[in-house]
Each structure stands twice: as structure tokens, then as C-alpha cells.
């Protein structure tokens, strides 16, 4: 409910690595496919291919809490001689896999779908396979039939067969079939709304900028809607509980936020941006829209200054969605940035004290991490099951370190570096080393020491027992 609260669950793809691979089968795959794998290294879904585009049709059944889906995955092979390819497929039950109408052999292993290619691929081939599936996801998709509502909660592979690694970006054409009378939001441009028989309708969107699959999603419900506009941006606000005037009040600053972040990023946000209040979530960003809870909407209605989460999710349109951490071990680049930029927006909107309040909160959390021995480097390999403390490192310490960098470099060099970093990696993945290079170029300084101390390692806990002065 708060931007400083991590919106990660151990079930999300952000807890990468929680799925263990069965080793016998994977060893055989490595030999068969010609993909070099070190002993003990698990093959990734998407190994040896680059996904270019998904065309998906999803039809959830609200009452049954289930879904039917099909997806055409267009990809390019990167490795010669590959005979099998793999995708993330959660708990989905795959019914068929075809290429040009021809059925392909497949098997489901853990949360992976392994597909046999009819002939070994040459490197650089473009191919497309069609997958038909069904499922009753326990997470990844939330059903609230009492509100006629369904929406995605990360873990895209629980409702769409895909490659859910953050470095894999693709464009998306998503069709969602829901009961007539529901309103829906999805990624990118709305292409069509088509009435079907049986009181159903299909919403179809197209996401043109390639995005990582964890920001794919949708929400549909009996929403009331209000709109607004910013600089070349169409804004939509939706809620099943708040009225259009209330929604306009809650989201009154959205246009200003997008303008502010666009200036800080050096890249203007265009197209549409939707914000929907759903039954329950701690807040999540998707490509082109954000989901927050009805309860949070009411909180902002009472207290407009509580809009840090609105700002956090809007900031993700740049930092997280468009510039994405290459792997989950550098997730701080997404979340530290979103928290920091939200605070920068509060500073712009309400003044210095609002910013300082956020910084003090991060600092207190970091002090607590240190006192309890839970602090660690921002780059963190062990995202097996992130604890609340691990997430505090990423979200709060991550934001605090950006604040320290700002103080270290001064306003002009810092923001010049943020713009250079964002523009250089917009539409791509990035690493902490990329951020360091951009900041060094912007400031003309060697930041090796700063990054070693704050990003790549952790400071030792304050030595209280020896009577060292408190900080
Ligand atoms: Zn976030």
C-alpha cells in the first residue's frame, strides 16, 4: 500500500531462481541442443532464441477462476543445431504446439514448456509457433467474481506462455475476451473492441515498444472511468468504487508527474497511460498502465500528499519498464530508481521537506539493516526467496544510494547523468556498470570507489560494542 513497501511476492518472477531444475533431464538437453552449459548451470527458458513478438488471445472465466489462452510466439534462433526450445509456462496445461499447422512434440517440466523443433535450426532463422493452453492459476491472475473483476499480478507465465526473464524484450498483441459491460486496460494502444456472441467482447491492444514480459498484463472490471490529458498523453482513471469526480481528484497530478519524469529522463512519455484501482494489490507497474488498490485510492482522496505510490508506478514507465535491470540481481535499478524518482517528484510538488522525509525513511531502514546484520550489496545474486530485508535493500537502500550520488555529484552533473543513462538504455536492459559509466561521463569523475562501497558491497555494521560513536 506504500511505495516503500516492496510489491514483490516470492511467487513472482522477481523471485527468479526459486524454480529448481531437474538435473538429469537438463544435462541431456545440453548435449542434444549443442548449447554449452557448465556443470550445475540450469538452462534458462528462452536459451538460444530471441523472442521478437507475442500474439496472444486470453479468455478468463471469472466464475471458474480459470482461463483459456493461445499465443503465437515469433522468435529468432541464435544457436545453430538447436533441437529444443523452452518457455516459462507456470502451472498452465498446454494442449497443443504447432508450427505452420504441423503439430510439434512437447513436454511440460516443472514450470517449463519444452518444444522439439522438427529439424535442427540454423542460427538466425525466424520461426513462429502457436501454443494452445488452459489453466487455473493460483497466482499471477486475480479473480474477484463478486466485483466482476480479473487482473494480472506479475508472474506473467501463469497466464501466458512466454520467456519471463527481464532481459528478454518483445512486442505484444494482446486480445482479451471478457463479459460485455466490463471495461478493460491492457498494454499499449487499444486497437479494437469487438462484440462477440454470448454477451462477450474482445479488447485488443498492441504494445509497439518491446518490453519485458513481466510488465505485460491487463485488468477488467465494472469500472467507472474518468479521463484527462497531458502533453501528448491520454490519461484514463478507472475504479469500481470511486466516482469519476473522485478519480479526477485522486489522479489530479498524473499529467504533471509524467511531465516531470519526462524532463528528468530526457524522453517524453507519449501515448496513453491508465491507472486502475483494483480490489487488492500493493501497487504494480505494467507497460502503459498501473494498478493500485481501491483502498489506496481512498487514502489519496483523503490525503493528496499520499501520492508517492502513484508517482512510483508512473516513474516505472521509464525506470523498470523502458530501462530494465538485465537480471533480477540488479533489481535495485528498477525499484531504487522508482522510489528515488517518486521522492524527487514530491520535492518538486511539495517542497524540500517532503523529499527529506523520504530520505530520512530510507536512512532509518538502512540503519536498521546494518544493526541487524541484514545489509548487503545492492547487486544481489541470491534472489531465491527475497526476505523483507532483501527487499528493503533493493527498494530503500537503492533509493538512498541514488540520493547519496545526487549529493556527491551536485544537481547539474547528477541529472545530466540520469538523462544520459536513461536515453542510452531506453528500450533495453541495463546494469549498474552502465549507470556508473553514464554518471562518470556526466561528472568527469571516477566513481569506482562510490560504486564499490555502495553498490557492489555493504558497509560493515556500526561497531557499537566497542563504543564507537553513533552515527
Ligand atoms: Zn516498483
Between CA 51 and CA 207 the distance in angstroms is: 14
Q: How confident is the model at residue 37 (pLDDT cuts 50, 70, 90)?
A: very low
For 190-197, which contacts have Cβ atoms below 8 Å and span 24 or more sequence positions? 190/272
Topology of domain 323-466, CATH: Neutral Protease; domain 2 (1.10.390)
Q: Are 395 and 341 in contact (CB under 8 A)?
A: no
Backbone region of residue 255 per phi and psi (left: phi > 0; alpha: psi in -120 to 50; beta: other values): alpha
Give me ligand 1 centre to Cα 313, in Å: 6
Between CA 290 and CA 313 the distance in angstroms is: 6
Give me ligand 1 centre to Cα 252, in Å: 21
Give me ligand 1 centre to Cα 49, in Å: 28
- What SS3 state is found at 304? helix
Backbone region of residue 148 per phi and psi (left: phi > 0; alpha: psi in -120 to 50; beta: other values): left
Residues surrounding ion ligand 1 at CB below 5 Å: 335, 338
Burial zone of 453 (CB within 10 Å; 0-12 exposed, 13-18 middle, 19+ buried): middle
Q: Are 209 and 427 in contact (CB under 8 A)?
A: yes
Give me ligand 1 centre to Cα 213, in Å: 15
pLDDT tens per residue across span 334-345: 999 999 999 999
Give me ligand 1 centre to Cα 408, in Å: 25
Between CA 403 and CA 343 the distance in angstroms is: 10
Residues 6+ apart with CB under 8 A from 191: 173, 204, 205, 206
Q: How far is CA 260 from CA 137, 287, 373, 385, in A?
A: 38, 18, 37, 35
pLDDT: is 167 or 460 the higher one? 167
pLDDT tens per residue across span 248-262: 999 999 999 999 999
* pLDDT on residue 469: 38
- What SS3 state is found at 328? helix
What sign results for the dihedral spanned by CA atoms 369, 373, 378, 380?
negative
Per the DSSP assignment, residues forming a β-bridge with 226 are 237
Give me ligand 1 centre to Cα 259, in Å: 19
Give me ligand 1 centre to Cα 6, in Å: 7
- What are the extents of the domains in the chain? 323-466
* pLDDT on residue 420: 98
* pLDDT on residue 462: 54
Give me ligand 1 centre to Cα 127, in Å: 34
The owner of cell 523498470 is 320
pLDDT: is 142 or 383 the higher one? 142
Q: Can you give the C-alpha Rg of the chain in angstroms?
A: 23
DSSP line for 231-245: SSEEEEEEESSS-HH
Question: For 191, phi and psi rounded to 5 degrees?
Answer: -95, -40
Residues 6+ apart with CB under 8 A from 31: none
Per the DSSP assignment, residues forming a β-bridge with 58 are 69, 176
Between CA 207 and CA 187 the distance in angstroms is: 6
Q: How confident is the model at residue 114 (pLDDT cuts 50, 70, 90)?
A: very high
Give me ligand 1 centre to Cα 377, in Å: 19
Give me ligand 1 centre to Cα 139, in Å: 19
* pLDDT on residue 386: 87
Between CA 302 and CA 296 the distance in angstroms is: 10
Give me ligand 1 centre to Cα 345, in Å: 15
Taking the CB of residue 341, how many other CB atoms lie within 10 A of it?
Answer: 25
Given a cut of 80, whether residue 3 has pLDDT beyond it is no
Q: Are strands 289-293 and 49-61 parallel, antiparallel or unpaired?
A: unpaired
* pLDDT on residue 210: 97
Given a cut of 60, whether residue 282 has pLDDT beyond it is yes
Give me ligand 1 centre to Cα 261, in Å: 15
Given a cut of 50, whether residue 373 has pLDDT beyond it is yes
Give me ligand 1 centre to Cα 329, in Å: 15
Any idea what the Cα angle at residue 158 is, between residues 156 and 12, rounded to 5°? 60
Between CA 330 and CA 12 the distance in angstroms is: 16
Given a cut of 70, whether residue 403 has pLDDT beyond it is yes
Give me ligand 1 centre to Cα 216, in Å: 15
Give me ligand 1 centre to Cα 355, in Å: 18
Taking the CB of residue 8, how many other CB atoms lie within 10 A of it?
Answer: 23
SS3 content of the chain, % helix, strand, coil (to 5): 35, 30, 35
Burial zone of 186 (CB within 10 Å; 0-12 exposed, 13-18 middle, 19+ buried): buried
* pLDDT on residue 371: 95
pLDDT tens per residue across span 412-431: 999 999 999 999 999 999 99
* Weakest mean pLDDT among 276-290, 359-373, 374-388, 435-449: 374-388
Percent of the chain with pLDDT over 70: 88
pLDDT tens per residue across span 208-230: 999 999 999 999 999 999 998 88
Give me ligand 1 centre to Cα 4, in Å: 9
Between CA 259 and CA 268 the distance in angstroms is: 7
Any idea what the Cα angle at residue 329 is, between residues 49 and 390, rounded to 5°? 145
Give me ligand 1 centre to Cα 317, in Å: 10
Q: Are 333 and 436 in contact (CB under 8 A)?
A: no
Q: How far is CA 220 from CA 65, 85, 140, 142, 149, in A?
A: 14, 33, 15, 11, 6
Give me ligand 1 centre to Cα 331, in Å: 10
Average pLDDT of the chain, as a whole number: 89
Give me ligand 1 centre to Cα 284, in Å: 6
Given a cut of 80, whether residue 406 has pLDDT beyond it is yes
* pLDDT on residue 311: 98
Given a cut of 90, whether residue 179 has pLDDT beyond it is yes
Give me ligand 1 centre to Cα 323, in Å: 13
Give me ligand 1 centre to Cα 7, in Å: 7
* pLDDT on residue 23: 25
Amino acid at each position: 500500500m506504500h511505495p516503500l513497501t516492496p510489491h514483490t511476492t516470492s511467487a513472482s518472477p522477481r523471485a527468479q531462481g526459486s524454480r529448481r531444475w531437474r538435473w538429469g533431464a537438463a544435462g541431456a538437453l545440453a548435449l542434444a541442443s549443442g548449447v554449452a552449459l557448465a556443470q550445475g548451470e540450469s538452462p534458462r527458458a528462452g536459451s538460444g532464441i530471441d523472442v521478437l513478438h507475442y500474439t496472444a488471445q486470453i479468455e478468463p472465466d471469472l466464475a471458474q477462476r480459470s482461463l483459456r489462452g493461445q499465443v503465437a510466439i515469433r522468435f529468432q534462433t541464435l544457436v545453430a543445431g538447436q533441437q529444443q526450445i523452452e518457455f516459462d509456462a507456470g502451472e498452465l496445461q498446454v494442449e497443443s504446439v504447432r508450427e505452420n499447422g504441423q503439430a510439434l512434440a512437447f513436454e511440460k517440466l516443472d514450470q517449463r514448456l519444452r518444444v522439439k523443433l522438427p529439424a535442427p535450426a540454423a542460427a538466425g532463422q525466424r520461426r513462429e509457433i502457436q501454443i494452445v493452453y488452459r489453466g487455473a492459476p493460483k497466482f499471477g491472475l486475480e479473480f474477484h467474481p463478486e466485483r466482476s473483476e480479473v487482473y494480472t499480478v506479475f508472474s506473467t507465465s501463469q497466464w501466458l506462455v512466454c520467456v519471463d526473464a527481464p532481459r528478454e524484450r518483445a512486442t505484444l498483441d494482446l486480445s482479451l475476451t471478457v463479459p460485455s459491460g466490463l471495461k478493460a486496460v491492457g498494454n499499449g494502444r487499444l486497437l479494437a473492441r469487438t462484440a462477440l456472441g454470448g454477451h462477450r467482447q474482445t479488447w485488443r491492444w498492441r504494445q509497439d515498444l518491446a518490453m519485458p514480459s513481466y510488465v505485460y498484463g491487463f485488468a477488467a472490471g465494472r469500472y467507472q472511468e474518468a479521463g484527462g490529458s497531458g502533453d501528448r498523453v491520454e490519461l484514463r482513471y478507472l475504479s469500481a468504487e470511486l466516482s469519476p469526480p473522485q478519480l479526477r481528484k485522486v489522479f489530479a497530478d498524473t499529467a504533471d508527474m509524467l511531465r516531470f519524469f519526462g524532463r528528468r529522463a530526457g524522453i517524453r512519455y507519449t501515448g496513453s497511460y491508465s491507472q486502475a484501482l483494483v480490489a487488492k494489490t500493493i501497487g504494480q507497474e505494467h507497460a502503459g498502465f498501473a494498478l493500485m488498490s481501491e483502498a489506496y485510492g481512498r487514502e489519496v482522496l483523503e490525503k493528496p500528499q499520499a501520492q508517492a505510490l502513484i508517482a512510483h508506478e508512473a516513474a516505472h514507465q521509464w525506470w523498470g519498464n523502458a530501462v530494465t535491470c538485465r537480471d533480477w540481481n540488479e533489481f535495485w535499478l528498477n525499484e531504487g530508481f522508482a522510489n528515488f524518482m517518486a521522492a524527487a517528484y514530491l520535492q518538486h510538488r511539495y517542497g524540500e521537506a517532503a523529499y527529506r522525509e523520504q530520505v530520512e525513511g530510507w536512512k532509518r531502514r538502512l540503519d536498521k539493516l546494518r544493526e541487524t546484520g541484514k545489509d548487503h550489496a545492492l547487486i544481489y545474486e541470491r534472489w531465491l526467496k527475497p526476505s523483507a530485508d532483501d527487499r528493503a535493500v533493493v527498494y530503500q537502500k537503492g533509493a538512498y544510494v541514488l540520493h547519496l550520488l545526487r549529493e556527491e555529484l551536485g544537481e547539474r552533473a547528477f541529472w545530466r547523468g540520469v538523462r544520459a543513462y536513461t536515453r542510452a538504455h531506453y528500450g533495453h536492459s541495463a546494469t549498474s556498470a552502465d549507470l556508473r559509466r553514464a554518471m562518470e561521463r556526466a561528472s568527469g569523475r571516477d566513481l569506482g570507489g562510490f560504486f564499490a562501497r555502495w553498490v557492489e558491497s555493504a558497509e560493515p555494521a556500526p561497531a557499537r560494542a566497542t563504543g564507537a560513536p553513533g552515527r
